[in-house]
């Protein structure tokens, strides 16, 4: 791959994994576009920041003149659109920012891409990959899995705003022929995920000896995918996917939230047994007072509109594009725990 790719949200969790992969593993030139909200951090791009094929543009995707300028100046052959407000809890307390970035921002970006693509004479190779979530499909009961045909039924302001963005992306293909592709992926985990999300919260609270909050009875089920496997799926769809199509991406790895929390506690009990010292946020050391990290688990009041279960049928991307997850949950979780244990300064930096 030796194209110029424009990656929105490239300073966030998944976006930065995409950018690091493109610079380190391919010949692509990358234009990272990111407003650097509380969720975006230059630290995530440190290994590639000064690479000659990497360009960083601090811009807001809702800024239409800025988006038009980026297309004109960089002339990308593809877009990976990941910029979004992404945290469900925040969307409950402040939905406006989610509509602004996820819906309005996506429309602005689609329109800037369309103008550029038409000005260029509608080149056949141009592609716009809109990155979305399985949460647009709503919740499942005990059985079944989301397919690409499952009707949209979002529950939270976050998933509703992503659903709106998906509809816009699809409309820009059907109405204007813009070469759009869409992916809907399950829960990602791995290094560089913002400390507000479930797996980092559990790891970091456990390391600090603080209560580990678990919503409701912890029985909600999510499908988990290691972030590098998601990156491989996105690049596969960008290059080989059928224009206008949607691809569901999942890890074939359903877990109750409480099982994920307990697995992290097991890993930490193994590497940091009771009685060992632990480092606090202020870099002091104190002795481990809990018998086991499991003792820190604390059930808290459930989140309103908390979807019961998600599961992904990824047979389309597996069958048509030959993609499959490579990193098992056990291996991915071990790598993730090790990364957070070894990167306390990153945690401090992103927590401000």
Which chain residues interact with ligand NAD by CB under 6 A?
8-9, 11-15, 34-37, 39-40, 60-62, 82-86, 101, 105, 131-133, 162, 185, 187-188, 194
Annotated catalytic residue within 59, 85, 134, 229: 134
> Can you spell out the DSSP letters for 289-316?
-SS-GGGGEEEEPPPTT---B--B--HH
DSSP 8-state code for residue 42: G
First to last CA, the chain: 36
**Residue 135 bears catalytic tag:** yes
Shorter beta-carbon distance to ligand NAD: residue 83 or 113: 83
Q: For ligand NAD, which is the closer residue by CB, 182 or 296? A: 182
Answer yes or no: are the C-beta atoms of 17 and 228 closer than 8 Å: yes
Distance in Å, CB of 112 to ligand NAD, minimum: 12
Length of the chain: 352
Minimum CB distance to ligand NAD smaller for 91 or for 293: 91
Measured from the CB atom, is 29 or 133 closer to ligand NAD? Answer: 133
Backbone angles phi, psi at 199, to 5 degrees: -65, -45
Other beta carbons within 10 angstroms of residue 50's beta carbon come to: 8
CA torsion 242-248-252-257 (nearest 10°) is: 160
The smaller minimum CB distance to ligand NAD, of residues 71 and 296, is found at 71
Q: What's the closest the beta carbon of residue 310 comes to ligand NAD, in angstroms?
A: 10
- Give CA–CA dist 88/9, Å, rounded: 17
Give CA–CA dist 180/157, Å, rounded.
24
Which of residues 83 and 297 has its CB atom nearest to ligand NAD in the complex? Answer: 83
Smallest distance, Å, CB 158 to ligand NAD? 8
Residue 339 Cα distances to 119, 293, 294, 335, angstroms: 45, 18, 20, 6
Distance, in Å, from the CA atom of 241 to the CA atom of 261, rounded to the nearest integer, reads 35
Asked about 215 being catalytic, the answer comes back as no
CA distance 55 to 41: 15
Angle at Cα 254 formed by Cα 252 and Cα 257, nearest 5°?
150
Find the catalytic residue in 135, 229, 236, 307: 135
**Taking the complex as a whole, how short is the minimal distance between the CB of residue 55 and ligand NAD, in angstroms?**
15
Smallest distance, ligand NAD to C-beta of residue 13, A: 3
> Please, what is the minimum distance in Å from the beta carbon of residue 27 to ligand NAD?
24
Q: Rounded to whole angstroms, what are the CA distances from 134 to 138, 167, 225? A: 8, 14, 12
In the set 116, 158, 247, 310, the catalytic residue is 158
Distance in angstroms (rounded) separating the CA atoms of residues 182 and 147: 13
CA distance 321 to 323: 6
Q: Which residue is nearest to ligand NAD (CB)?
A: 12
Nearer to ligand NAD, 14 or 207 (CB): 14
Largest CA distance in the chain: 67
Catalytic residues: 134-135, 158
């Amino acid at each position: 791959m030796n194209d110029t790719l424009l990656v929105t949200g490239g300073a966030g969790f998944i976006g930065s994994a995409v950018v690091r992969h493109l610079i380190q593993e391919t010949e692509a030139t990358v234009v990272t576009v990111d407003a650097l909200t509380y969720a975006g951090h230059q630290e995530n791009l440190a290994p590639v920041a000064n690479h000659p094929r990497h360009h960083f543009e601090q811009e807001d995707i809702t800024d239409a003149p800025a988006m038009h300028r980026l297309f004109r100046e960089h002339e990308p052959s593809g877009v990976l659109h990941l910029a979004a407000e992404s945290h469900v809890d925040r969307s409950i307390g402040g939905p406006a920012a989610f509509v602004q970035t996820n819906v309005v921002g996506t429309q602005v970006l689609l329109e800037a891409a369309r103008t550029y693509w038409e000005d260029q004479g509608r080149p056949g190779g141009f592609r716009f990959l809109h990155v979305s979530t399985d949460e647009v499909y709503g919740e499942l009961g005990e059985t079944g899995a989301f397919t690409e045909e499952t009707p949209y039924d979002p529950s939270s302001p976050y998933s509703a705003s992503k659903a709106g963005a998906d509809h816009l992306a699809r409309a820009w293909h059907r109405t204007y022929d813009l070469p759009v592709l869409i992916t809907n992926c399950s829960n990602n985990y791995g290094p560089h995920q913002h400390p507000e999300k479930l797996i980092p919260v559990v790891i970091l609270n456990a390391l600090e000896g603080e209560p580990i909050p678990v919503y409701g009875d912890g029985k909600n089920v999510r499908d988990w995918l290691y972030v590098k496997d998601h990156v491989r799926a996105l690049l596969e769809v960008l290059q080989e996917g059928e224009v206008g199509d949607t691809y569901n991406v999942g890890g074939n790895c359903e877990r109750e939230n409480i099982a994920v929390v307990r697995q992290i506690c097991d890993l930490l009990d193994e590497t940091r047994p009771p009685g060992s010292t632990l480092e606090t946020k202020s870099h002091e050391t104190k002795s481990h007072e809990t018998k086991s990290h499991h003792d820190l688990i604390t059930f808290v009041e459930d989140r309103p509109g908390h979807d019961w279960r998600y599961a992904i049928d990824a047979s389309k991307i597996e069958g048509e594009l030959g993609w499959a997850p490579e990193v098992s949950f056990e291996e991915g979780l071990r790598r993730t725990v090790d990364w957070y244990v070894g990167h306390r300064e990153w945690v401090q930096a992103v927590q401000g």
